[in-house]
Amino acid sequence: MTQVLCGQVLAFEGSPFDGDPTEAARLHEAVALDGGKITGVGTRAQMLELAPDAQVTDYGNRLIMAGFVDAHVHYPQTAIIASWGKRLLDWLNSYTFPEEMKFGDPDYAGMIAERYLDLVLANGTTSVCSYCTVHAQSVDAFMSAAQGRGMRAVAGKSTMNRNAPEGLCDTVASAQADNQALIDRWHGVDRLSYAITPRFSPTSTPEQLEMLGALWAANPTCLMQTHLSEQTDEVAWVKSLFPEARDYLDTYEAYGLLGPGAVYGHAIYLEPRERDRLKEVDASLVHCPTSNTFIGSGLFDMAGLMAEGQRIGLATDTGGGSSFSMLRTMAAAYEIGQLKGTPLHAAQLLWLATVGSAQSLRMDDKIGNLAPGMEADIVVLDLHATPAIAQRAERASDLWEAVFPTIMMGDDRSVHAVWVNGALATG
């Protein structure tokens, strides 16, 4: 049955980073859904004329928009989120690697995958791109859980054969076999996609990186996700491990791991050559603000990279990131922008969490916006969810002033309802 959702329906018609941010979006009265797709956006009367027998849900003055798209997460780190104060490399050894050892148990992997997706849906996130552990069953667990919820999701097996515990290392041959089997099993099934996933260049030998580059060339519709220039000591370590490389990016480029469809998390300490090459090949960068502040990594150059025309998404980076909420992530992105002297407008923050992240995953023809033909993933936000937010929103003179308190102070209480693939998931 066709559904018509009524309220303040937000749809982007352009990028708020191009010119006046307030001109990039339009407010409508209703959106129509049928068969898992958006069939129309416009006035209530127009949508009811389009589908006179539709089931109508009236959300009043709540904000209806595309579900959030989280472009860089580690679902296996769900249980260790908010672990106390370590730098990146210490954090990996102290918290991440011991936790990831547990994912050799399919039951444990399945439990965490179910928990993680329940948490993000409660926070209005309808699509995610996740790293899994070295264990193939960790990918199976995540894909099965996402498939069961009808979600559009991307995931890949973290591939490592050095500088990690023995129980988390594979080999060149086993990694090739595991990755290809997982691609064959999951890539393109329902709303699922696979990402070839070297964790980062320090945890793979040149031989393994070369194999992964060849695997990506043989499976070009897959994404390739990894980490790039997150912390200064990490960058120095990479230089010591790859003395012949021109820079950090070159440790991927030399092995065929740079190109369209490459998604690099963090990208804080980029050299001029790296920025030029990333733009030239149209690769994607993903800003992870709560992680960058929580682990003390640094400040992402959103304004400079956007001015260069880089393809940029936004992510929680669970569990180095300290929240499952894309609202909290937007707030952190705003705060980092303030520290850089370039605060982001509310329209830019909402765009990054939807269209921008979808573009970074090469999925903006499917998710991240409300327009006919797009997949019907929707979040409904209550802009008066708490007394603190409500008293500020009541003084607003326009939509952007009304939504900004929810961006800065909102959490799962602000998420009134979530629709996934045209079906009500929460609310």
* pLDDT for residue 425: 98
Locus of tokens 């992240």: 357
pLDDT tens sequence across 20-50: 999 999 999 999 999 999 999 999 999 999 9
Q: Identify whether the C-beta of residue 113 lies closer than 8 Å to the C-beta of residue 261.
A: no
Q: For residue 274, what pLDDT band results from cuts at 50, 70 and 90?
A: very high
Give me the mean pLDDT over the 301-313 stretch.
98
Burial label for 68, CB within 10 Å (0-12, 13-18, 19+), is buried
pLDDT of residue 85: 76
Q: Is the pLDDT of residue 9 over 90?
A: yes
pLDDT for residue 92: 85
pLDDT of residue 35: 95
What domains are defined for the chain?
3-66+369-426 (2.30.40.10), 68-360 (3.20.20.140)
Over residues 198-225, the mean pLDDT reads: 98
The values of phi and psi at residue 221, to 5°, are -80, -10
Flag whether pLDDT at 87 surpasses 90.
Answer: no
pTM over 0.95, yes/no: yes
Read off the pLDDT of each residue in 186-201 and give the average, rounded to a whole number: 98
For 167-190, what is each residue's pLDDT tens digit? 999 999 999 999 999 999 999 999
Q: Is the predicted pLDDT of residue 100 greater than 90, yes or no?
A: yes
What is the per-residue pLDDT across 220-267, written as a single tens digit (0 to 9) for each?
999 999 999 999 999 999 999 999 999 999 999 999 999 999 999 999
pLDDT at 19: 94
- Residue 253, pLDDT score: 98
Quote the CA–CA distance of 346 and 410 in Å, as a whole number.
Answer: 13
